[in-house]
Structure 1
Amino acid sequence: MADAYDYIFKIVLIGESAVGKTNIFSRFTQNDFNLESKTTIGIEFSTAKTMTIEDKSVNAQIWDTAGQERFRAISVAYYRGAVGALLVYDIAKLETFQNLERWLRELREHTSPSIVIMLVGNKSDLKHLRAVSTEDAKAFAEKNNLLFLETSALDGTNVEAAFTQVLTEIYKVESQPTPGKDTKRVKPGNGKRIFHMIESSSSSKKARRGCC
């Protein structure tokens, strides 16, 4: 039976270890938060809930990548086909913000130029421990042409909004024809995945058969 989706978009969560990526993932996909959550090892994947955007059903495939340095080689392989990303830092840990340039550079090296990226300052409930100002984060987002929100996976603040904004922007990009573009696309309908492919034609065909 064919999936009843018009679009399926792959979104990756990236950033340093312990910034709350897994709890953002869990809050959005299951409305759950675990104070005892452990560092993600490798990759976690979930087909999240379906949303309706301009009368089209859009399903998000969220990929939670490990932030630890020793797992980054695994993460790189899973950038393939992503059309959206949440670049996450912890507002209470300056180092996680300072390392964003590296994560952003890696993301853009392995994805399409048209990928939609949102900068996410997580743990907004820790205002008393804030080490990264909202102004500095906004400036970074504007400099790098990113969307921006502060979230709290603990109380759910802006988690739904972050994914909704990213999915809406992806839809705007993917639903518009782009004449002369070299990227390979899968046409929407019957739950087909909408992935950007920047490999050769043969590699693209192989990638479209599975979930990257």
Structure 2
Amino acid sequence: MTGTPGASSTRDGEAPERPPPCSPSYDLTGKNKVVTVDGMRVKLQIWDTAGQERFRSVTHAYYRDAQALLLLYDITNKSSFDNIRAWLTEIHEYAQQDVVIMLLGNKADVSSERVIRSEDGETLAREYGVPFMETSAKTGMNVELAFLAIAKELKYRAGRQAGEASFQIRDYVESQKKRPSCCSFL
């Protein structure tokens, strides 16, 4: 799963139901995922373009409404990593100013084929001020953590009270990655 799937949720936790803004002949995948955060159900609506150039013209419509975006690259594919800056430029141009962005290096299960170092992903994430982790869609490693972190951030924003300490998604991700066997299904 390499691309820019957007995770969107409304203030009450229910994702708006809408068809993709393109022809049905496109291979755009949309799924719903419900995550429970502190006893509250948060419904994420996920659209996966798989980074395909043919979707570049329709992604602007998704950026406008998205409250969160998971930006993935393949750790075994340098061009997918190199394209991240272009995707981030588009996101900053078309998405809401307060959109939550998370950078994910996928295929961590095939580290023997790695061409992008984890440190390179971390450096890029720091440069853009976004949280980062490596995942494996195949094994499930850190996939649930990515969705949970996004859902926690969206829940926090929806219910934020004046003077309340802010939720720090980067700190949360880092603390959970350090826990033994957290969110990895190896």
Distance 2:49 2:65 in 1: 14
Using the TM superposition, give the Cα deviation of residue 75 of structure 1 relative to its aligned residue in structure 2, in angstroms.
2.1
1:124 paired to 2:108? yes
1:148 paired to 2:132? yes
1:46 paired to 2:31? yes
Distance 2:120 2:88 in 1: 16
TM-score scaled by structure 1? 0.62
Distance 1:177 1:105, change over 3 A: farther
3-state SS of 1:132 partner: coil
Distance 1:83 1:127 in 2: 31
Q: Partner of 1:33 in structure 2? A: none
TM-score scaled by structure 2? 0.70
Using the TM superposition, give the Cα deviation of residue 99 of structure 1 relative to its aligned residue in structure 2, in angstroms.
1.3
Distance 2:149 2:15 in 1: 13
> Which of structure 1's runs of 4+ aligned residues deviate more than 3 A?
none
Q: Partner of 1:158 in structure 2? A: 142
3-state SS of 2:64 partner: coil
Using the TM superposition, give the Cα deviation of residue 57 of structure 1 relative to its aligned residue in structure 2, in angstroms.
1.9
Contact 2:35 / 2:147 at 8 angstroms: preserved in 1?
A: no
Letter in 2 for 1:122: N
Structure 2 unmatched runs, 5+: 1-10, 17-24, 163-186
Larger RCO (alpha carbons 8 Å, 6+ apart): 1
- Structure of greater Rg: 1
Distance 2:121 2:15 in 1: 26
Q: Partner of 2:14 in structure 1? A: 8
Aligned partner (choices 68, 82, 86) of residue 102 of structure 1: 86
How many residue pairs were aligned? 144
What is the aligned-residue identity percentage?
38
Q: CA RMSD in A?
A: 2.1
Distance 2:41 2:80 in 1: 35
Using the TM superposition, give the Cα deviation of residue 115 of structure 1 relative to its aligned residue in structure 2, in angstroms.
0.8
Distance 2:159 2:76 in 1: 38
Structure 1 unmatched runs, 5+: 11-39, 179-212
Letter in 1 for 2:76: A
Contact 1:79 / 1:111 at 8 angstroms: preserved in 2?
A: yes
3-state SS of 1:125 partner: helix
The correspondence of residues 45-194 of structure 1 with structure 2, limited to 5 A, is 45-48=30-33, 50-176=34-160
3-state SS of 2:140 partner: coil
3-state SS of 1:92 partner: coil
- Post-superposition Cα deviations, 1:148-171, rounded to whole Å, max 9, x if no partner, equal 110111111111111111111122
Using the TM superposition, give the Cα deviation of residue 69 of structure 1 relative to its aligned residue in structure 2, in angstroms.
1.6
- Post-superposition Cα deviations, 1:19-56, rounded to whole Å, max 9, x if no partner, equal xxxxxxxxxxxxxxxxxxxxx934221222x2222332
Q: Partner of 2:172 in structure 1? A: none
Which structure: greater helix fraction? 2
3-state SS of 1:80 partner: helix
Using the TM superposition, give the Cα deviation of residue 9 of structure 1 relative to its aligned residue in structure 2, in angstroms.
4.9
